[in-house]
Amino acid sequence: MQLDSILFYLFAVQILFSALMTITRRNVVYSAVWLISTLVGVAGIYLLQGAEFLAGVQIILYIGGITVLFLFVIMLVPVSEESKQRRFSSQLWIVLIVAVLLTGELGYFLWQGADSFQMGEPTPPAEIGTVTTNSEQIGQVLFSEYLLPFELASILLLVAMIGAVVMAKARPGAE
């Protein structure tokens, strides 16, 4: 559909531009704001692909959770000192050369293999049984096929919880 492609390019430009701004801003809060814009763009792309649940989760977790965490951390440190630091290290030239090489390599192989790309219409999410909506499919798959990763996720969360508390705990010797 026409509208879908227009929206895709809008989101793509938004993601790339915002990502570029994120890494080039001197002020970390500006970086965070541009990061939000990047993540919103990604949510938009998910939505275009029909992954509604993922789009919602992207906004709730990445923007409402992780970016808020970033902003909290930014507020814990004085910004003025940060912005006086040198941002780019002296390895700029090496990085540039490697980046150009990698881009060239990737571009070459993409160009060589261009025939094998199948750019079909985005297929609507497959219907599993009677379930149709995206979130319900995720429920079905997550609790049957991906049972072990799901349970392991809770261990990961447990580690994150304990790690945060241990790190934040005042040590007897410090200040």
Partner 1 sequence: MPRGYIPILIFLVLAFAFPVVTILVAKLVRPSAPGKTKLEAYECGIPSDADTRGRYSIRFYLVAILFVVFDVETIFLIPWAIQYNVLGLFGLIEMLVFLAILIVGYIWIFRQGALKWV
Partner 2 sequence: MEEILDNPYLQPIIATLLIVAVFPLVAGYMVLAERKVLADLQVRLGPMRVGPYGFLQPLADAFKLMLKEDIIPAASDKWIFWGAPVLSTFTALTAFAVIPFSDKFYVADVNIGILFILAMSSLGILGLILGGWSSNSKYSLLGALRSAAQMVSYEVPLGFTTVTALMVAETLSMQGIVQSQLDKGVWIAFSNYGLMLVPAVVFIIAAVAETNRAPFDLPEAESEIVAGFHTEYSGFRWALFFLAEYASIFVICGIAVTVFFGGWLRPFANVGFLETPLNVAFPILLFVVIGAGCALGAVRVTLAYEKAIMGVLALAMFLVAGLFAIPMINELIIGFFWFLFKVLIFIYVFIWVRGTFPRFRYDQLMQVGWKYLIPISMGGLIVNGIVLLFTS
**140 near partner 1, rule: CB under 8 A:** yes
- Which of 21, 33, 48, 141 is the binder for partner 2 (CB under 8 A)? 33
- Binder of residue 36, out of partner 1, partner 2, none (CB less than 5 to 8 A by kind): partner 2
- Binder of residue 4, out of partner 1, partner 2, none (CB less than 5 to 8 A by kind): partner 1
Judged by CB, which is closer to partner 1: 21, or 57? Answer: 57
Q: What is the DSSP string of the chain?
A: -HHHHHHHHHHHHHHHHHHHHHHH-SSHHHHHHHHHHHHHHHHHHHHHTT-HHHHHHIIIIIIIIIIHHHHHHHHHS-HHHHHHS--S-TTHHHHHHHHHHHHHHHHHHHHHTGGG----PPPPPPPBTTB-SHHHHHHHHHTTTTHHHHHHHHHHHHHHHHHHHHHHSPPSS--
- Which of 7, 30, 105, 114 is the binder for partner 1 (CB under 8 A)? 7
Judged by CB, which is closer to partner 1: 113, or 173? Answer: 173
- Which of 12, 20, 66, 106 is the binder for partner 1 (CB under 8 A)? 66
